[in-house]
Amino acid sequence: MDYLAAQFKSMSLGQTWETTLKIPPICKSCAKKSSLLIVGPRNQNGNAGRPYYKCKPCDNLITFADDRGTKLDGPLCDCREPSRLQLNGRDRTPAFGLHCVCKYGACDFYRVIVGKDGKQLFTSKQYSLYFGAYRDRNRRIYH
Q: At residue 34, what are phi and psi to the nearest 5 degrees?
A: -85, 165
* 3-state SS, residue 127: helix
Distance CA 59, CA 69 (A): 23
Cβ density class 75-109: b for 16+ within 10 Å, e for less: eebeeebbbbbbbbeeeeeeebbbbbbbbbbbbeb
Residue 1 has pLDDT above 70, yes or no: no
Q: What is the pTM assigned to this prediction?
A: 0.70
Q: Beta-carbon neighbour count of residue 47 at 10 Å?
A: 18
Q: Please, which residues bridge with residue 33 across strands?
A: 26
**CA dist 38 to 54, 78, 111, Å?**
10, 27, 26
The span from the CA of 95 to the CA of 134, in Å, is 13
Average pLDDT for 71-80: 89
DSSP-derived secondary structure for 69-115: TB-TTS-B-TTSSBEEEEE--TTSSSTTBEEEEETTS-S--EEE-B-
Cα separation, 63 vs 105, in Å, equals: 5
Give the dihedral sign, CA 56/35/95/45.
negative
- pLDDT tens-digit readout, 6-61: 444 444 445 555 666 778 899 999 999 999 999 998 887 778 888 999 999 999 99
- Domain extents for the chain? 1-68, 70-136
**Computed from CA positions of residues 14, 39, 123, 71, in that sequence, does the dihedral angle turn out positive or negative?**
negative
Has residue 143 got a pLDDT over 70?
no
Structure confidence at residue 125 as a pLDDT band (50, 70, 90):
low
**Given pLDDT bands bounded at 50, 70 and 90, which one contains residue 71?**
confident
